[in-house]
Amino acid sequence: MPRRATVIDVARRAEVSSATVSRVLNGHYPVARATRERVEAAVRELGYVVNAHARALAGTSSRTVGIIVHDVVDPFFAHIARGVERAASEAGRLCMVCCTHGDPRRELAFVDLLHEQRADAVVLVGGAHSDRAYAREVARRARDLHSGGARLVLCGRPSVGRDVPTLSVEYDNEGGAFALTDHLLTQGHERILYLGGPPDLSTTRDRLAGHRRALELRGVTPAPELVHTGAFSPAFGHRRLTELLASGLTFSAVFAANDMVAIGALQALEEAGLRVPDDVSLVGYDDVPAAQVLRPRLTTVHVPLEEMGRQAVRIAVPDAESDAESCAWQPPPEGGLKLGTHIVVRDSVAARQGRVTG
């Protein structure tokens, strides 16, 4: 196998110093046009490839943004990851994607790995588990990243402490659930089955809080037997709703904790011979592309997923022309950056006859 070309080889071919080659490749220093052209020609002729690891060791940045998600197959995470990747590319940085599969230990390990790789920013996506020890570990890593000139961005999850140097991009999770529940209530539905979402996850807690607040403001007493939390997956939605239908539990609408749960719930209703929305109304959350192609099309809450990813990078990675002082971390505004949500009304909700309210 032929030996890979090095910076020294390029310098010899171009008849310049190794430092000049580095200046040309980094693009941060003025170099005479003729010199630059000779170096670029030598790079092409020798097939030289920049050693990203060596570049990272030579400075404080690897020009990389890391994103840590539960699973790239889940549309919620996939669309946020796409936003992160596009914004990172626009900022001249590579994007590294890490998948935890729901394991908090893997999440912390990936933060450590990205720190070792000198990533400019690490974006943690999705709800956080209610574990104080875990929150302390995240806070410690945020401080370590900050001390090395990097940033930890919490995307769609709560703060780990006001004094912790993190940035945040949130969305109005509780408000979206409130608005969606209120929509069902105005259509005459009071027996609303809430289905899905891990119970100890911040995302689930916020959505349940909005759901219950809407019920209470309309004078409907929340019924414990109508709340069934679990995985954010079609399999859970199908299995649990099939069990509940067989048990004889009565309800006129299903609030699926996300669109994936709604897909499984729709299958269970169809298998039971129930029509949506004629017999049971069904709503979801997130507004992933599948919500538009289901039949009936799914009423849901739109979350600006890709924009969340873009904003996570934009607030974390300073402009290349910014000076060091402007790049220093400052405590974000109370609550951080919060993006709005809104209901998308489609075909999966029907008014309960004789029970429509204003």
Other Cβ atoms less than 10 A from the Cβ of 340: the count is 11
In this prediction the pTM is 0.78
Residue with tokens 């070309």: 5
The secondary structure of residue 201, as a DSSP letter, is B
18-32, 124-138, 264-278 — most confident range: 264-278
pLDDT, one tens digit per residue, over 273-321 is 999 999 999 999 999 999 999 999 999 999 999 999 999 999 998 653 3
Model confidence pLDDT, tens digit, residues 95-107: 999 999 988 899 9
Kindly tell me if the per-residue pLDDT of 327 is higher than 60. no
Beta strand residue intervals within the chain, DSSP E: 64-69, 94-99, 121-125, 151-155, 166-171, 192-195, 227-228, 253-256, 281-283, 300-302, 337-339, 342-344
Measured distance CA(176)–CA(164) in Å, rounded: 28
Question: Mean pLDDT for the chain?
Answer: 88
